[in-house]
Amino acid sequence: MFGAFFEEHYARRKLTRHLFHELLETISRAVNMIEYKDTNHSARVALNSLRLAREVGIDDQQVLAQVYFAGLLHDVGEVGVPDNLIYKKGKLSEEEFQLLTTHTAIGQQIVSQVPVLETAANLVLWHHERWDGTGYPEGLTMTEAPMLAQIVSLCDAFDNIRRGGLFSIPENWENELHRFASIQFNPLLVPPLIELTQAGRMDDIAPAPEDDAVILALESEESVMVRLREDYVGTIVNFLLTLLEAKHMDSAVHSKRVARLCEKVGERMNLSELELQTLVIAGNLHDIGKVGIPNSILDKPGLLDDWEYRVVQKHPEQAATILKPLRGFGDVAETVRYHHER
Ligand SMILES: [Fe+2]
Ligand SMILES: [Fe+2]
Ligand SMILES: [Fe+2]
Protein backbone atom coordinates (compact mmCIF):
# COMPACT_ATOMS: atom_id res chain seq x y z
CA MET A 1 0.00 0.00 0.00
CA PHE A 2 2.82 2.41 0.87
CA GLY A 3 5.40 0.87 -1.43
CA ALA A 4 7.32 4.01 -2.37
CA PHE A 5 7.58 5.02 1.29
CA PHE A 6 8.83 1.58 2.35
CA GLU A 7 11.28 1.45 -0.55
CA GLU A 8 12.77 4.85 0.30
CA HIS A 9 12.89 4.70 4.09
CA TYR A 10 13.42 1.00 4.75
CA ALA A 11 14.57 -1.02 1.73
CA ARG A 12 17.03 1.55 0.35
CA ARG A 13 18.48 2.23 3.80
CA LYS A 14 18.71 -1.52 4.49
CA LEU A 15 16.46 -1.27 7.53
CA THR A 16 14.32 -4.29 6.81
CA ARG A 17 15.72 -6.36 9.66
CA HIS A 18 14.56 -5.79 13.23
CA LEU A 19 11.17 -4.57 12.07
CA PHE A 20 9.61 -6.49 14.94
CA HIS A 21 11.76 -4.69 17.45
CA GLU A 22 10.63 -1.26 16.36
CA LEU A 23 7.04 -2.39 15.89
CA LEU A 24 7.04 -3.85 19.41
CA GLU A 25 8.49 -0.63 20.84
CA THR A 26 5.84 1.46 19.06
CA ILE A 27 3.03 -0.82 20.21
CA SER A 28 4.34 -0.70 23.79
CA ARG A 29 4.46 3.08 23.74
CA ALA A 30 0.92 3.39 22.42
CA VAL A 31 -0.35 0.84 24.95
CA ASN A 32 1.45 2.47 27.88
CA MET A 33 -0.12 5.76 26.90
CA ILE A 34 -3.65 4.37 27.14
CA GLU A 35 -2.95 2.38 30.26
CA TYR A 36 -2.75 5.20 32.74
CA LYS A 37 -3.03 2.82 35.67
CA ASP A 38 -0.29 0.30 36.48
CA THR A 39 1.78 0.44 33.32
CA ASN A 40 3.95 -2.49 34.29
CA HIS A 41 1.10 -4.97 34.61
CA SER A 42 1.21 -5.87 30.90
CA ALA A 43 4.99 -6.21 30.89
CA ARG A 44 4.84 -8.55 33.89
CA VAL A 45 2.05 -10.65 32.39
CA ALA A 46 4.04 -10.91 29.14
CA LEU A 47 7.29 -11.99 30.75
CA ASN A 48 5.67 -14.20 33.38
CA SER A 49 3.64 -15.98 30.69
CA LEU A 50 6.82 -16.51 28.72
CA ARG A 51 8.64 -17.95 31.75
CA LEU A 52 5.76 -20.23 32.70
CA ALA A 53 5.40 -21.44 29.11
CA ARG A 54 9.09 -22.37 29.03
CA GLU A 55 8.81 -24.05 32.41
CA VAL A 56 6.06 -26.37 31.20
CA GLY A 57 8.15 -27.41 28.23
CA ILE A 58 7.13 -25.15 25.35
CA ASP A 59 10.34 -24.42 23.48
CA ASP A 60 9.24 -23.35 20.00
CA GLN A 61 10.40 -19.72 19.81
CA GLN A 62 7.62 -18.75 17.42
CA VAL A 63 5.02 -20.06 19.83
CA LEU A 64 6.70 -18.38 22.79
CA ALA A 65 6.63 -15.10 20.88
CA GLN A 66 2.84 -15.38 20.48
CA VAL A 67 2.49 -15.97 24.23
CA TYR A 68 4.67 -12.96 24.94
CA PHE A 69 2.70 -10.63 22.65
CA ALA A 70 -0.59 -11.93 23.99
CA GLY A 71 0.56 -11.15 27.54
CA LEU A 72 1.72 -7.70 26.54
CA LEU A 73 -1.51 -6.89 24.73
CA HIS A 74 -4.09 -8.89 26.69
CA ASP A 75 -5.96 -5.82 27.92
CA VAL A 76 -5.38 -3.53 24.96
CA GLY A 77 -9.12 -3.75 24.20
CA GLU A 78 -9.80 -1.82 27.41
CA VAL A 79 -9.13 1.23 25.25
CA GLY A 80 -12.69 0.70 23.98
CA VAL A 81 -14.32 0.47 27.42
CA PRO A 82 -15.27 3.59 29.42
CA ASP A 83 -12.66 4.42 32.09
CA ASN A 84 -15.20 4.54 34.90
CA LEU A 85 -15.91 0.82 34.41
CA ILE A 86 -12.29 -0.21 34.40
CA TYR A 87 -11.58 1.66 37.61
CA LYS A 88 -14.90 0.97 39.31
CA LYS A 89 -14.31 -0.42 42.78
CA GLY A 90 -17.68 -1.96 43.65
CA LYS A 91 -19.73 -4.57 41.87
CA LEU A 92 -20.63 -3.95 38.24
CA SER A 93 -24.23 -4.04 37.08
CA GLU A 94 -25.08 -6.69 34.50
CA GLU A 95 -25.02 -4.09 31.74
CA GLU A 96 -21.66 -2.70 32.87
CA PHE A 97 -20.22 -6.20 33.05
CA GLN A 98 -21.36 -6.95 29.50
CA LEU A 99 -19.65 -3.78 28.34
CA LEU A 100 -16.45 -4.75 30.13
CA THR A 101 -16.40 -8.20 28.50
CA THR A 102 -16.12 -6.56 25.08
CA HIS A 103 -12.46 -5.70 25.79
CA THR A 104 -11.52 -9.25 24.78
CA ALA A 105 -13.01 -9.04 21.27
CA ILE A 106 -11.86 -5.44 20.78
CA GLY A 107 -8.36 -6.54 21.79
CA GLN A 108 -8.44 -9.40 19.29
CA GLN A 109 -9.51 -6.98 16.59
CA ILE A 110 -6.61 -4.62 17.35
CA VAL A 111 -3.91 -7.29 17.62
CA SER A 112 -5.04 -9.07 14.47
CA GLN A 113 -4.07 -5.98 12.47
CA VAL A 114 -0.51 -7.26 12.68
CA PRO A 115 -0.08 -10.19 10.30
CA VAL A 116 1.74 -13.07 11.98
CA LEU A 117 0.20 -12.23 15.37
CA GLU A 118 -3.02 -14.16 14.65
CA THR A 119 -2.32 -16.66 17.41
CA ALA A 120 -1.63 -13.88 19.91
CA ALA A 121 -4.88 -12.21 18.83
CA ASN A 122 -6.83 -15.38 19.69
CA LEU A 123 -5.11 -15.68 23.06
CA VAL A 124 -6.14 -12.10 23.77
CA LEU A 125 -9.73 -13.07 22.94
CA TRP A 126 -9.60 -15.95 25.42
CA HIS A 127 -7.71 -14.47 28.36
CA HIS A 128 -10.85 -14.37 30.53
CA GLU A 129 -11.98 -17.92 29.81
CA ARG A 130 -12.00 -20.19 32.87
CA TRP A 131 -11.24 -23.85 33.46
CA ASP A 132 -14.86 -24.56 34.48
CA GLY A 133 -16.37 -22.81 31.44
CA THR A 134 -17.87 -19.84 33.31
CA GLY A 135 -15.55 -17.27 31.76
CA TYR A 136 -16.05 -14.99 28.76
CA PRO A 137 -16.50 -14.22 25.90
CA GLU A 138 -17.12 -17.75 24.64
CA GLY A 139 -17.54 -19.72 27.86
CA LEU A 140 -15.00 -22.28 26.66
CA THR A 141 -13.96 -24.82 29.23
CA MET A 142 -10.23 -24.81 29.61
CA THR A 143 -9.94 -28.20 28.01
CA GLU A 144 -11.28 -26.45 24.90
CA ALA A 145 -9.24 -23.27 25.29
CA PRO A 146 -5.66 -23.88 24.28
CA MET A 147 -2.91 -24.29 26.86
CA LEU A 148 -1.35 -21.01 25.72
CA ALA A 149 -4.51 -19.10 26.61
CA GLN A 150 -4.58 -20.85 29.99
CA ILE A 151 -1.04 -19.65 30.65
CA VAL A 152 -1.79 -16.01 29.84
CA SER A 153 -5.04 -16.12 31.77
CA LEU A 154 -3.32 -17.57 34.85
CA CYS A 155 -0.46 -15.07 34.74
CA ASP A 156 -2.91 -12.20 34.39
CA ALA A 157 -4.88 -13.32 37.45
CA PHE A 158 -1.67 -14.10 39.33
CA ASP A 159 -0.41 -10.55 38.82
CA ASN A 160 -3.72 -9.09 39.95
CA ILE A 161 -3.69 -11.27 43.08
CA ARG A 162 -0.09 -10.28 43.86
CA ARG A 163 -1.02 -6.60 43.61
CA GLY A 164 -4.04 -6.99 45.88
CA GLY A 165 -6.62 -6.79 43.09
CA LEU A 166 -9.64 -9.12 42.72
CA PHE A 167 -10.39 -8.55 46.44
CA SER A 168 -7.38 -10.65 47.38
CA ILE A 169 -4.71 -10.29 50.03
CA PRO A 170 -1.32 -10.36 48.28
CA GLU A 171 0.39 -12.39 51.05
CA ASN A 172 -2.13 -15.17 50.49
CA TRP A 173 -1.32 -15.49 46.80
CA GLU A 174 -0.39 -19.16 47.10
CA ASN A 175 -3.64 -20.11 48.80
CA GLU A 176 -5.59 -18.08 46.28
CA LEU A 177 -3.97 -19.96 43.41
CA HIS A 178 -4.77 -23.31 45.02
CA ARG A 179 -8.30 -22.18 45.80
CA PHE A 180 -9.03 -21.36 42.16
CA ALA A 181 -7.17 -24.29 40.61
CA SER A 182 -9.66 -26.46 38.68
CA ILE A 183 -12.24 -23.65 38.95
CA GLN A 184 -10.58 -20.78 37.17
CA PHE A 185 -7.13 -22.19 36.36
CA ASN A 186 -5.68 -25.29 34.81
CA PRO A 187 -4.59 -27.19 37.96
CA LEU A 188 -1.49 -28.51 36.19
CA LEU A 189 -0.15 -24.98 35.70
CA VAL A 190 -0.44 -23.87 39.31
CA PRO A 191 2.45 -25.87 40.87
CA PRO A 192 5.05 -24.76 38.29
CA LEU A 193 3.94 -21.15 38.70
CA ILE A 194 4.35 -21.40 42.47
CA GLU A 195 7.77 -23.00 42.10
CA LEU A 196 8.98 -20.30 39.71
CA THR A 197 7.74 -17.58 42.03
CA GLN A 198 9.36 -19.12 45.10
CA ALA A 199 12.60 -19.40 43.17
CA GLY A 200 12.42 -15.63 42.55
CA ARG A 201 12.12 -16.10 38.81
CA MET A 202 8.84 -14.24 38.30
CA ASP A 203 7.80 -10.59 38.34
CA ASP A 204 11.09 -9.18 37.12
CA ILE A 205 10.18 -6.87 34.25
CA ALA A 206 13.68 -6.49 32.86
CA PRO A 207 13.76 -8.94 29.94
CA ALA A 208 16.62 -11.44 30.16
CA PRO A 209 18.61 -12.30 27.00
CA GLU A 210 16.53 -15.45 26.55
CA ASP A 211 13.39 -13.28 26.64
CA ASP A 212 14.71 -10.99 23.90
CA ALA A 213 15.42 -14.12 21.91
CA VAL A 214 11.73 -14.62 21.19
CA ILE A 215 11.61 -11.40 19.18
CA LEU A 216 14.85 -12.26 17.44
CA ALA A 217 13.36 -15.64 16.56
CA LEU A 218 10.45 -13.93 14.85
CA GLU A 219 12.85 -11.72 12.93
CA SER A 220 15.04 -14.57 11.85
CA GLU A 221 12.17 -16.60 10.44
CA GLU A 222 12.13 -15.61 6.78
CA SER A 223 8.49 -16.57 6.13
CA VAL A 224 7.38 -14.39 9.03
CA MET A 225 9.39 -11.43 7.81
CA VAL A 226 8.21 -11.80 4.23
CA ARG A 227 4.65 -11.45 5.45
CA LEU A 228 5.48 -8.50 7.69
CA ARG A 229 7.41 -6.68 4.95
CA GLU A 230 4.61 -7.13 2.44
CA ASP A 231 2.72 -4.18 3.88
CA TYR A 232 4.71 -3.11 6.92
CA VAL A 233 3.77 0.56 6.77
CA GLY A 234 0.12 -0.30 6.14
CA THR A 235 0.22 -2.62 9.16
CA ILE A 236 1.44 0.18 11.41
CA VAL A 237 -1.16 2.61 10.10
CA ASN A 238 -3.95 0.03 10.48
CA PHE A 239 -2.87 -1.03 13.95
CA LEU A 240 -2.72 2.54 15.24
CA LEU A 241 -5.97 3.58 13.53
CA THR A 242 -7.79 0.55 14.94
CA LEU A 243 -6.53 1.54 18.38
CA LEU A 244 -7.76 5.09 17.88
CA GLU A 245 -11.10 3.82 16.57
CA ALA A 246 -11.63 1.80 19.74
CA LYS A 247 -10.59 4.75 21.88
CA HIS A 248 -12.51 7.48 20.11
CA MET A 249 -14.32 6.72 16.87
CA ASP A 250 -14.79 10.37 15.90
CA SER A 251 -11.04 11.01 16.01
CA ALA A 252 -10.36 7.99 13.80
CA VAL A 253 -13.00 8.99 11.25
CA HIS A 254 -11.62 12.53 11.27
CA SER A 255 -8.08 11.23 10.74
CA LYS A 256 -9.05 9.15 7.72
CA ARG A 257 -10.85 12.16 6.26
CA VAL A 258 -7.78 14.32 6.77
CA ALA A 259 -5.66 11.67 5.04
CA ARG A 260 -7.96 11.72 2.00
CA LEU A 261 -7.89 15.52 1.87
CA CYS A 262 -4.10 15.54 2.13
CA GLU A 263 -3.94 13.19 -0.80
CA LYS A 264 -6.20 15.38 -2.94
CA VAL A 265 -4.28 18.54 -2.13
CA GLY A 266 -0.99 16.75 -2.74
CA GLU A 267 -2.14 15.53 -6.13
CA ARG A 268 -3.10 19.07 -7.11
CA MET A 269 0.37 20.18 -6.11
CA ASN A 270 1.89 17.47 -8.29
CA LEU A 271 3.79 15.94 -5.40
CA SER A 272 5.81 12.79 -6.02
CA GLU A 273 4.50 9.34 -5.07
CA LEU A 274 6.78 9.34 -2.03
CA GLU A 275 5.66 12.78 -0.86
CA LEU A 276 2.03 11.81 -1.33
CA GLN A 277 2.41 8.66 0.70
CA THR A 278 4.19 10.54 3.47
CA LEU A 279 1.31 13.03 3.59
CA VAL A 280 -1.33 10.30 3.68
CA ILE A 281 0.45 8.49 6.52
CA ALA A 282 0.82 11.72 8.47
CA GLY A 283 -2.84 12.57 7.88
CA ASN A 284 -3.92 9.19 9.19
CA LEU A 285 -1.69 9.38 12.25
CA HIS A 286 -1.69 13.08 13.13
CA ASP A 287 -4.09 12.63 16.07
CA ILE A 288 -2.85 9.24 17.27
CA GLY A 289 -1.59 10.96 20.46
CA LYS A 290 -5.24 11.20 21.47
CA VAL A 291 -5.13 7.57 22.59
CA GLY A 292 -3.52 9.02 25.71
CA ILE A 293 -6.23 11.62 26.39
CA PRO A 294 -9.18 10.65 28.64
CA ASN A 295 -12.53 10.32 26.85
CA SER A 296 -14.10 12.62 29.43
CA ILE A 297 -12.02 15.40 27.86
CA LEU A 298 -12.30 14.26 24.23
CA ASP A 299 -16.09 14.10 24.53
CA LYS A 300 -16.68 17.13 26.73
CA PRO A 301 -19.52 19.09 25.13
CA GLY A 302 -18.67 22.62 26.27
CA LEU A 303 -15.43 24.58 26.51
CA LEU A 304 -12.41 22.95 28.10
CA ASP A 305 -10.99 24.41 31.30
CA ASP A 306 -7.31 25.39 31.49
CA TRP A 307 -6.11 22.05 32.77
CA GLU A 308 -8.11 20.06 30.23
CA TYR A 309 -6.84 22.28 27.46
CA ARG A 310 -3.25 21.65 28.52
CA VAL A 311 -3.91 17.88 28.48
CA VAL A 312 -5.30 18.07 24.94
CA GLN A 313 -2.37 20.19 23.80
CA LYS A 314 -0.06 17.28 24.53
CA HIS A 315 -1.47 15.11 21.76
CA PRO A 316 0.87 16.20 18.92
CA GLU A 317 3.91 15.53 21.10
CA GLN A 318 2.40 12.22 22.21
CA ALA A 319 1.88 11.24 18.58
CA ALA A 320 5.55 11.94 17.86
CA THR A 321 6.51 9.87 20.93
CA ILE A 322 4.55 6.87 19.68
CA LEU A 323 6.15 7.07 16.22
CA LYS A 324 9.70 7.70 17.45
CA PRO A 325 10.88 4.05 17.44
CA LEU A 326 9.99 3.68 13.74
CA ARG A 327 13.28 4.38 12.01
CA GLY A 328 11.71 5.19 8.65
CA PHE A 329 9.05 7.52 10.04
CA GLY A 330 11.20 10.56 10.87
CA ASP A 331 9.42 12.88 8.42
CA VAL A 332 6.00 11.66 9.51
CA ALA A 333 6.85 12.15 13.20
CA GLU A 334 8.00 15.73 12.54
CA THR A 335 4.84 16.48 10.55
CA VAL A 336 2.48 15.22 13.27
CA ARG A 337 4.44 16.96 16.01
CA TYR A 338 3.76 20.37 14.45
CA HIS A 339 0.23 19.94 13.15
CA HIS A 340 -1.19 22.54 15.56
CA GLU A 341 1.38 25.26 15.01
CA ARG A 342 -0.03 28.43 13.55
FE1 LIG B 1 -8.63 -8.47 30.68
FE1 LIG C 1 -4.78 -7.77 33.01
FE1 LIG D 1 -4.83 17.41 16.39
Q: What is the dihedral of CA 157, 162, 165, 166, to 10 degrees?
A: 50
Between the CA of 236 and the centroid of ligand 3 the distance, in Å, is 19
- Exposure on the CB side of residue 236, measured as CA atoms within 13 A: 30
Residue scoring higher pLDDT (89 or 310): 310
The answer to whether 291 and 316 have CB atoms below 8 angstroms apart is: no
Q: How far is it, in rounded angstroms, from Cα 9 to Cα 242?
A: 24
The domain made up of 230-337 has a fold known as Hypothetical protein af1432 (1.10.3210)
Mean pLDDT of the residues in the chain: 92
How far apart, in Å, are the Cα atoms of 55 and each of 52, 67, 264? 5, 13, 55
Between the CA of 124 and the centroid of ligand 1 the distance, in Å, is 8
Q: What is the dihedral of CA 205, 206, 209, 215, to 10 degrees?
A: 60
Q: Is the pLDDT of residue 66 over 70?
A: yes
Proportion of the chain above pLDDT 70, given as a percent: 97
Between the CA of 244 and the centroid of ligand 1 the distance, in Å, is 19
Between the CA of 42 and the centroid of ligand 2 the distance, in Å, is 7
pLDDT digits (tens, 9 = 90+) for 196-212: 999 999 988 887 888 88
Provide the residue type at 233 as one letter. V
pLDDT value for 95: 93
Between the CA of 200 and the centroid of ligand 2 the distance, in Å, is 21
Nearest ligand by distance to the CA of 155 = 2
Span 118-143, average pLDDT: 93
Q: How far is it, in rounded angstroms, from Cα 141 to Cα 129?
A: 7
Between the CA of 233 and the centroid of ligand 2 the distance, in Å, is 29
Q: Is the pLDDT of residue 316 over 70?
A: yes
pLDDT value for 88: 78
Nearest ligand by distance to the CA of 71 = 2
Span 125-136, average pLDDT: 95
Nearest ligand by distance to the CA of 317 = 3
pLDDT digits (tens, 9 = 90+) for 257-301: 999 999 999 999 999 999 999 999 999 999 999 999 989 899 999
Nearest ligand by distance to the CA of 166 = 2
Between the CA of 329 and the centroid of ligand 3 the distance, in Å, is 18
Between the CA of 316 and the centroid of ligand 3 the distance, in Å, is 6
Nearest ligand by distance to the CA of 41 = 2
Span 131-155, average pLDDT: 92
pLDDT value for 215: 85
pLDDT value for 194: 96
Between the CA of 47 and the centroid of ligand 2 the distance, in Å, is 13
The domain made up of 35-206 has a fold known as Hypothetical protein af1432 (1.10.3210)
For 181, list phi and psi in degrees, rounded to 5.
-60, 140
Kindly list the protein residues that place their beta carbon closer than 5 angstroms to ligand 3, a single-atom ion: 287
Residues of the chain with CATH 1.10.3210.10: 35-206, 230-337
Nearest ligand by distance to the CA of 320 = 3
Span 176-185, average pLDDT: 93
Residue scoring higher pLDDT (217 or 128): 128
Between the CA of 119 and the centroid of ligand 2 the distance, in Å, is 18
User: Which residue, among 173, 183, 63, has the nearest Cα to 134 in the 3D structure?
Assistant: 183
According to DSSP, residue 76 is labeled: G
Nearest ligand by distance to the CA of 340 = 3
3-state secondary structure 210-265: HHHHHHHHHHHCHHHHHHHHHCHHHHHHHHHHHHHHHHCHHHHHHHHHHHHHHHHH
